[in-house]
Amino acid sequence: MLCDKILEDRDFGHLYIIVNRRAVRYTFRPANDGTPKIGIRVTVPPRYDVKDVVRAVEQNRTQLLSMLQVNQTAKDKKTETVHIDWDFRIETDCLHISFIKGTSQKVLFHKEAAQIDKNMHGEEIILKPAILQFVCPPDFDFDKGDRQALFERAIIEGVRMYAKAQLLPRLLGYAARYGIQLNEVKINSSKGRWGSCSQHKQRSLLNSKKSYNINLSLFTLLLPMHLQKLILLHELTHTIYMDHSPAFHAHLNTWLEGKEDAFEKELKKYTTSIFSFVKKE
Ligand SMILES: [Zn+2]
């Protein structure tokens, strides 16, 4: 999603204004941006008037609120969860997460950074994935109190830490290779979207070089390396083409050496939920 402008809203958190050349009127959809207020995507025609968009949101506020409620109920029903216990394992290219029995009566963390090298083409290769182990007392009761929820949060925070350590330099490496200037890169826990890109509005008119803000879902780190590349290059292609036009895809496909379609198809196997990456026996 390439967003032209983000407005703050008391009920919806963020209003993402997206320009679409074929749009003739405003359309509103849930943004599912990972914030509690969900956000609204407003698709608008080119040369729109921001004040008019704000007015339209005001006029449709009641309907929009009920749209978000329906969306949230549907999502709550769909969210799959996995029981967290000794068998819980995530083993992806870049990160391995597991629970092991310790000797202490405390829960301890064992962390190891990934070992990464580059091949002759300058592409990263993972020699050894990062490790996150939760070392728990041998007779640990995973269901006591709100331990399930606490571990889910701890796992997500662990993924976030390694996503910052790995995805940021990976993205900056590609940006440098293609001469793209980025203003800010953020890692979020956005659900339903792997990444987004928006143009950074320069304060100074003298500095006319465009730069961009990119948001990446922390779950991107759990994808296989070639699909991470798809996500990162997809967002970087948005710095050249604002839309998903044939020209956008042609460009991205060149960067991916003709594999965009195959990679996109493979990406459909994954969702932006921690539980979709749990290793099943
Ligand atoms: Zn896109």
Q: Residue holding tokens 């921001």?
A: 50
In a domain, 222, yes or no: yes
Residues 141 and 157 in one domain: yes
Residue 76 pLDDT? 62
Q: From 165, 191, 210, give the residue that closes a domain.
A: 165
Name which of 87-91, 101-105, 120-124, 128-132 the model is least confident about. 120-124
Mark whether 199 and 226 lie in a shared domain.
yes
Q: How far is the CA of 193 from the centre of ligand 1 (A)?
A: 10
Distance 244 CA to ligand 1 centre (A): 6
Same domain, 195 and 161: no
Measured in degrees and rounded to the nearest 5, phi and psi for residue 78 equal -80, -25
The pLDDT of residue 106 is above 70: yes
112 shares its domain with 184: no
- Ligand 1 centroid from CA 243, angstroms: 7
Q: 108 - beta bridge partners? A: 135
Whether residue 84 lies inside any domain: the answer is no
pLDDT band at 86, cuts 50/70/90?
Answer: very high
pTM: 0.72
Burial of 217 (0-12, 13-18, 19+ CB in 10 A): buried
Q: Report pLDDT digits (tens) over 158-215.
A: 999 999 999 999 999 999 999 999 999 999 998 789 999 998 877 666 666 788 999 9
Query: Is residue 27 domain-shared with residue 103, that is, in the same domain?
Result: no
**142 & 201 share domain:** no
Report how far ligand 1's centroid is from the alpha carbon of 240 (Å).
11
Same domain, 261 and 176: yes
Residue at which a domain ends, from 165, 186, 203: 165
- Cα 207 to ligand 1 centroid, rounded to whole Å: 26
Is 72 domain-assigned? Answer: no
Q: What is the pLDDT of residues 139-174, one digit of tens each?
A: 999 999 999 999 999 999 999 999 999 999 999 999
Q: Could you read off the pLDDT of 30-77 as tens digits, one per residue? A: 888 877 788 999 999 988 999 999 999 999 998 898 888 877 776 665
Q: Is 64 inside a domain boundary?
A: no
Is the model more confident about 94 or about 63? 94
Residue 121 belongs to what domain range? Answer: 89-165
Q: How many domains does the chain have?
A: 3
Q: Is residue 35 in some structural domain?
A: yes
Determine the distance separating the centroid of ligand 1 and the alpha carbon of 92, expressed in angstroms: 24
CA 107 vs. chain centroid, Å, equals 29
Please state the φ and ψ torsions of residue 97, each to the nearest 5 degrees.
-120, 135
pLDDT at 205: 60
Is 274 inside any structural domain?
no
* 205 lies in some domain: yes
Dist. CA 263 → ligand 1 center (Å): 14
For ligand 1, the distance from its centroid to the CA atom of residue 235, given in whole angstroms, is: 6
Q: What angle do CA 16, 80, 113 make, to 5 degrees?
A: 80
Query: What is the Å distance from ligand 1's center to 173 Cα?
Result: 20
